[in-house]
């Protein structure tokens, strides 16, 4: 219906997008567990490497170096398993979301009027089903995962920095609002650019579809 397609409410759009995640809550929970452990273990690496340097150059303790090396290998293995758990489940959920959205769009298109197909070319609709749905998958899985991972890493890093040198940490925190503002400005530009790119992809798909469909005339 026209009144449903023209609703400009942004929170409503986000709410509708997150609905596609609800059938895969368990997979998302596993991915979240992997993300948390992967982020926390990534913070351990600098501390372990510092102990390696201290044991070699300061204490010259070969036994301590061996123990730290074993610990470093263990941390690396556990982090790799956590990363695999995160990436595998996010990829699974992402592909399922793509299938669900494409099926829903395809079924919805079957019930639209002839006038709709007169106003919208077939190549554009195909592009929306294929390319645009892939962008939604990236937003719902990849981007949100990256946001959570970077947030956890930031919180852990700030906590460690406070322990090491709170004065330097306070100086860095003062600069954070500037970085956030730059990020918002850049993000706004990227959203507009992404919309233009998707429209151009749809236009290119239309040209290719019309050429191949009427190849005898061409």
pLDDT at 119: 83
Band (174; pLDDT cuts 50, 70, 90): confident
Q: In this model, does residue 84 exceed pLDDT 90?
A: yes
To which residue do tokens 């019309």 refer?
210
pLDDT at 33: 92
pLDDT > 70: percent of the chain? 88
Band (81; pLDDT cuts 50, 70, 90): very high
Assess contact for 68 and 48: CB atoms under 8 A: yes
Average of per-residue pLDDT values in the chain: 79
pLDDT at 88: 92
Q: What whole-number distance in Å separates Cα of residue 218 and Cα of residue 210?
A: 10
Q: What whole-number distance in Å separates Cα of residue 145 and Cα of residue 90?
A: 8
Band (4; pLDDT cuts 50, 70, 90): very low
To which residue do tokens 């992404």 refer?
194
E strand or H helix at 199, and its extent?
Answer: helix 166-213
Band (6; pLDDT cuts 50, 70, 90): very low
Q: Who has greater pLDDT, 126 or 56?
A: 126
Question: pLDDT by residue (tens digit) across 97-149?
Answer: 888 888 888 888 888 888 888 888 877 888 888 877 887 788 778 777 888 88
Could you tell me the two tokens for 102?
Answer: 């494409």
Q: Who has greater pLDDT, 84 or 180?
A: 84
Cα angle 130-134-136, degrees, rounded to a multiple of 5: 125
Which of 42-51, 83-92, 118-127, 140-149 has the weakest average pLDDT? Answer: 42-51
Look at the pTM and tell me if it is higher than 0.85.
Answer: no
Count of Cβ atoms closer than 10 Å to residue 145 Cβ: 21
Q: What whole-number distance in Å separates Cα of residue 184 and Cα of residue 201?
A: 26
Q: In this model, does residue 10 exceed pLDDT 70?
A: no
């Amino acid at each position: 219906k026209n009144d449903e397609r023209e609703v400009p409410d942004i929170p409503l759009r986000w709410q509708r997008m997150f609905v596609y995640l609800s059938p895969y809550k368990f997979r998302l929970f596993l991915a979240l567990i992997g993300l948390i452990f992967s982020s926390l273990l990534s913070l351990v690496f600098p501390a372990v490497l510092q102990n390696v340097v201290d044991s070699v150059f300061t204490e010259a303790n070969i036994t301590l170096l061996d123990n730290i090396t074993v610990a470093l290998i263990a941390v690396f293995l556990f982090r790799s398993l956590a990363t695999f758990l995160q990436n595998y489940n996010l990829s699974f959920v992402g592909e399922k979301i793509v299938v669900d959205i494409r099926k829903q769009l395809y079924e919805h298109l079957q019930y639209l009027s002839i006038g709709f197909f007169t106003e919208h070319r077939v190549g554009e609709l195909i592009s929306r089903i294929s390319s645009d749905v892939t962008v939604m998958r990236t937003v719902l899985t990849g981007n949100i995962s990256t946001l959570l991972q970077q947030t956890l890493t930031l919180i852990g890093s700030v906590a460690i920095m406070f322990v090491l040198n709170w004065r330097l940490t306070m100086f860095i925190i003062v600069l954070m609002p500037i970085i956030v503002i730059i990020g918002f400005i850049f993000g706004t530009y990227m959203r507009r650019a992404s919309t233009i790119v998707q429209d151009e992809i749809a236009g290119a798909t239309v040209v290719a579809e019309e050429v191949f469909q009427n190849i005898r005339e061409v």
